[in-house]
């Protein structure tokens, strides 16, 4: 194959690649200028041929160009010019504005039909990639800044909560001390009542005092709701811990939730304690508690059921209010509040006379099931 034919094939190949390409001789003059460079710069092959490459190079690259060409022509290897330091080797406007960001490689070109010190220059347009990286870095920096601000806000909120809890604790302690003294004096006055009407009046005041005490005791539990971060909790463990808090209550607990974990407030055990305590207090004939879960496309329904007298239909929603229909306090209200922190909900769906049935709805993102093999 003669040199002329090979040269034509090389030029055809360089014209077909998706990058700028040119060949320069030992005198640093352009001998080939491919179609991409012509498209980028608007300079034709005939116009470029025979002119020094320095005429087409960005002014900021002139100093380094001489060093690079000398180094390669004296026997050095290929040199890579990064887009970070040499962004616009041959200035070429980008359709979206500004100059194309380029990645350039200059290397010796050894061909028998070319000057022995000829060099091949390959220029890749990396504008899109660099802009994407820059956009990503801006998003990352913005996200880090927002995370930092959120962390500061959360830390400030935690400090504020701790101070409020401390104030609440001190205030509650002082009120309870005063209330205890009040109840003691009321008990003495009741014993010294001169007649039944006076005694009944003292008893009513005493009853109100005990009601105030129960309400204050509730604030101790409620102040901790949402203070600590939610976490993944093993339901089997939590239900067992709650059961241990009712040692004097005789009922069988049947739990079928092995491996189930729920993302919830650390007070989750208080929820199960309240449900068990509610069954023991109001179920009248409860001998068995069942805990299991059912899956569907949206998540799971965690079921807590007993075999007691159940909840009247007219009271199914009232029991979750701040006062329940049998004046039991705030247990179920508190339970609903605890669950709602991580998007869980609770309702009573049992059949009156057949036992209470509480359904805790857990969305997909708030539960996971650890396989038995993983637990072993």
CA dihedral sign, ordered 81, 87, 92, 95:
positive
Same domain, yes or no: 205 and 142: yes
What's the pLDDT tens digit per position in 58-115?
888 887 888 888 888 777 788 888 888 888 889 999 988 889 999 999 988 877 667 6
Tell whether the model's pLDDT for residue 1 goes beyond 80: no
> How many distinct structural domains can be found in the chain?
3
Q: What is the CATH number of the domain that holds 317?
A: 3.30.565.10
Same domain, yes or no: 39 and 78: yes
Q: What is the CATH number of the domain that holds 92?
A: 3.30.450.20
State which of 222, 242, 276 marks the end of a domain. Answer: 222
pLDDT for 305 equals 94
pLDDT for 84 equals 82
Same domain, yes or no: 181 and 257: no
Same domain, yes or no: 250 and 206: no
What's the pLDDT tens digit per position in 330-353?
688 888 988 998 999 999 999 999
State which of 76, 102, 125 marks the end of a domain. Answer: 125
Tell whether the model's pLDDT for residue 134 goes beyond 70: yes
**Predicted confidence band of residue 167 (pLDDT cuts 50, 70, 90):** low
Domain residues for the domain of 201 are 132-222
State which of 179, 203, 222 marks the end of a domain. Answer: 222
Same domain, yes or no: 163 and 89: no
pLDDT for 187 equals 83
Same domain, yes or no: 14 and 110: yes
The CA distances from residue 66 to 25, 28, 72, 102, 328, in Å, are 14, 9, 10, 19, 90
Neighbours of 43 (CB within 10 A): 18
What's the pLDDT tens digit per position in 177-235?
888 888 888 888 888 888 888 888 888 888 888 878 777 776 666 666 666 788 999 99
- Tell me the percentage of the chain whose pLDDT exceeds 90: 33
Supply the pTM of this predicted model: 0.52
Q: Cα(61)–Cα(301) distance, rounded to whole angstroms? A: 68
Same domain, yes or no: 173 and 113: no
């Amino acid at each position: 194959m003669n040199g002329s034919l090979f040269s034509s094939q090389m030029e055809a190949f360089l014209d077909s690649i998706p990058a700028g390409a040119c060949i320069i001789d030992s005198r640093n003059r352009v001998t080939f200028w491919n179609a991409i460079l012509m498209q980028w710069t608007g300079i034709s092959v005939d116009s470029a041929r025979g002119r020094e490459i320095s005429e087409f190079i960005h002014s900021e690259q002139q100093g380094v160009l001489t060093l690079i060409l000398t180094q390669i022509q004296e026997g050095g290897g290929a040199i890579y010019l990064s887009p970070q330091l040499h962004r616009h080797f041959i200035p070429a406007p980008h359709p979206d504005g500004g100059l194309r960001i380029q990645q350039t490689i200059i290397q010796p070109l050894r061909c028998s039909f070319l000057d022995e010190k000829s060099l091949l220059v390959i220029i890749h347009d990396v504008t899109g990639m660099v802009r994407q990286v820059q956009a990503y870095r801006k998003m990352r920096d913005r996200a880090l800044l927002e995370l930092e601000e959120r962390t500061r806000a959360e830390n400030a909120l935690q400090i504020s909560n701790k101070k409020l809890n401390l104030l609440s604790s001190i205030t509650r302690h002082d009120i309870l001390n005063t209330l205890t003294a009040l109840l003691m004096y009321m008990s003495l006055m009741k014993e010294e009542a001169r007649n039944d009407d006076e005694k009944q009046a003292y008893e009513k005041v005493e009853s109100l005092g005990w009601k105030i005490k129960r309400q204050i005791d509730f604030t101790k539990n409620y102040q901790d709701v949402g203070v600590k971060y939610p976490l993944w909790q093993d339901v089997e463990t939590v239900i067992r811990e709650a059961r241990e808090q009712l040692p004097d209550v005789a009922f069988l607990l049947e739990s079928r939730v092995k491996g189930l974990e729920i993302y919830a407030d650390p007070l989750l055990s208080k929820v199960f304690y309240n449900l068990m305590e509610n069954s023991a207090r109001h179920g009248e004939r409860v001998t068995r508690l069942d805990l299991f879960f059912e899956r569907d496309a949206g998540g799971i329904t965690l079921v807590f059921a007993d075999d007691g007298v159940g909840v009247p239909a007219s009271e199914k929603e009232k029991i979750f209010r701040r006062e329940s229909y049998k004046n039991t306090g705030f247990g179920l209200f508190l339970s609903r509040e605890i669950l709602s922190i991580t998007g869980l909900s609770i309702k009573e769906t049992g059949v009156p006379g057949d036992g209470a049935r509480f359904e805790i709805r857990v969305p997909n993102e708030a539960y996971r099931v650890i396989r038995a093999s993983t637990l072993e």
